[in-house]
Structure 1
């Protein structure tokens, strides 16, 4: 019997491992077929909430935040690009790419979660940032991503210019922080099970099958 499965995917638009993790999760769900009927809810997390609108060069940022040298940054970037390619995603970030503030992108994702098309918008935002090297702080980029996801561009623009859902996003961010989420991606299944990091499909599939079996056993 197919089981309903609630999946909260806590992530940031500018998090490369979140791209890898989402790809792995999507593949795992395809692999388990009709074992579960998953509902994925994308939840907000800001890696750099104090980042100004103009952003910061990625090499400079990683050096300041993590102490990585430019050479280490390039090596890590290549490794992440390879992992992304494994899940069918093309990353084109480079030494000239920038880190941006993503709060408005999360507001738009919250709106899409209410109206439909959130998953498609998340994918479009990943593409805009990681493949097109566009700024998720730019409202024109966000409106274009909404349209690419099949959403109403005019309605998206209204959300962005009005400041709608700012309180909702901040409340959600506080909720996940207070729940102990300090790094992303974090995947919470059925409000109970935590899967951390950009796991490969096999790891997600194993977890999903285990959770489904435990849920079925508990239901008798």
Structure 2
């Protein structure tokens, strides 16, 4: 059963949502899902070189409120058993190239490992996933050929396709991430807990059985 996931590696809710889904699928090895990841840029107008994360978010929310937001994420992550400190990433990158990398990984059956590697690199290790050399390193960590990915990143390959797919998603009503579409019929939004995913898996099994 197809599970389409619209996500952005720099979205904290996407990181938490993936961790929760991973836990549920590990606990229910008989889950029916065939996962495919789809591009959605949280900050589509972000400059190519990215921006300083704290400066950008402080201007948007105010420094005091930003600290409260970050503490909320720490609490939620700790409760979910997820390693995450919102202060670890120092920059907000433009993620178009990261989405190209996810697309190319999908052609080699490595899409989910690539998403995992990108999210870990950003949220746990604080790496700049807008930087081409960093992206090539992450591609190698996810099992892809580093040199081939570096060559592709240096071109405009598939940029237009990624942007068109994102535009199509927005046209279908995807306006926030993460968004999960089950069998092109049921939609879940946000970082749903593993328990809810367990219920979904059980209900799908009952419908099938």
**Larger displacement relative to structure 2 (68-77 or 7-16):** 68-77
Correspondence for 1:55: 50
Partner of residue 171, structure 2: 178
1:41-190 correspondence to structure 2 within 5 Å: 41-65=36-60, 68-94=61-87, 97-190=90-183
Long gaps (5+) in structure 1: none
Distance in 2 separating the partners of 1:151 and 1:19: 22
Match of 1:31 in 2: 27
Match of 1:20 in 2: 16
1:10 corresponds to 2:6: yes
Report Cα offsets for 1:40-97 as digits up to 9, x if no partner. Answer: 11110001111113322323323444xx221221221122233334444422432882
Where 2:28 maps in the other structure, the secondary structure is: helix
Distance 2:103 2:41 in 1: 14
Q: 1:144 to 1:50 in 2, by over 3 A?
A: same
Query: Counterpart of 1:33 in 2: which secondary structure?
Result: coil
Change (3 A) 1:37 1:93: same
Aligned CA distance change for structure 1 residues 137 and 126 (closer, same or farther; 3 Å): same
RMSD after superposition = 1.9
Paired with 2:88 and 2:146, the residues of 1 have a C-alpha distance of: 32
Offset at residue 126 of structure 1 (A): 0.7
User: Partners in 1 of 2:149 and 2:81 — Cα distance?
Assistant: 28
8 Å contact kept, 1:6–1:190: yes
Map of 2:200 onto structure 1: 207
**Whole-Å Cα distance in 1 between the matches of residues 59 and 173 of structure 2?**
25
Instruction: Give the alignment's TM-score, normalised by structure 1.
Output: 0.87
User: Contact conserved, 1:21 with 1:199, CA < 8 A, in 2?
Assistant: yes
In structure 2, C-alpha distance between the alignment counterparts of 1:95 and 1:21, rounded to whole Å: 19
SS in 2 for 1:187: strand
List gaps (5 residues or longer) in structure 2: none
